[in-house]
Amino acid sequence: MQTETVEKKTMQSIVPAVNILETPVSYIVSLDIPGAAKESIKANIENNTLIVAATIAENLETANIEGRYYREFSLGGDIDVQTVDAQYNLGVLTVTLNKKLQYLPKQIQIK
């Protein structure tokens, strides 16, 4: 008689660590999402909110763990949503949110 084993699955909700850097021309948001496959990462902007989600699946000796990264960021009206860029490298997702031209600092020449 063959015995079936039932794998234990635990779904974990994970809030990724984040660093936000503001430069004169953009905001750079870096999220730590190790173990996520690039294909599972979704980044969207809806109603002035940046939404980042990704899934992770790891087989451990004691359990099969599945997890989901999820984080939302409220954006101001100074973001040019047409030029947003995202890159994933070594477990870090970097999203660059460029500022609209009218919000960029302008040097005033003194005459």
pLDDT at residue 43 greater than cutoff 80:
yes
What's the CA gap between 111 and 42, in Å, rounded?
50
- If you average pLDDT over residues 16-29, what whole number do you get? 96
pLDDT at residue 68 greater than cutoff 60:
yes
pLDDT for position 5: 46
Q: Of the CATH numbers 2.60.40.1180, 2.60.40.790, 2.40.50.100, 1.10.10.10, which one belongs to the domain with range 9-101?
A: 2.60.40.790
The structure's pTM equals 0.78
- Angle at CA of residue 51, ends 46 and 55, nearest 5°: 140
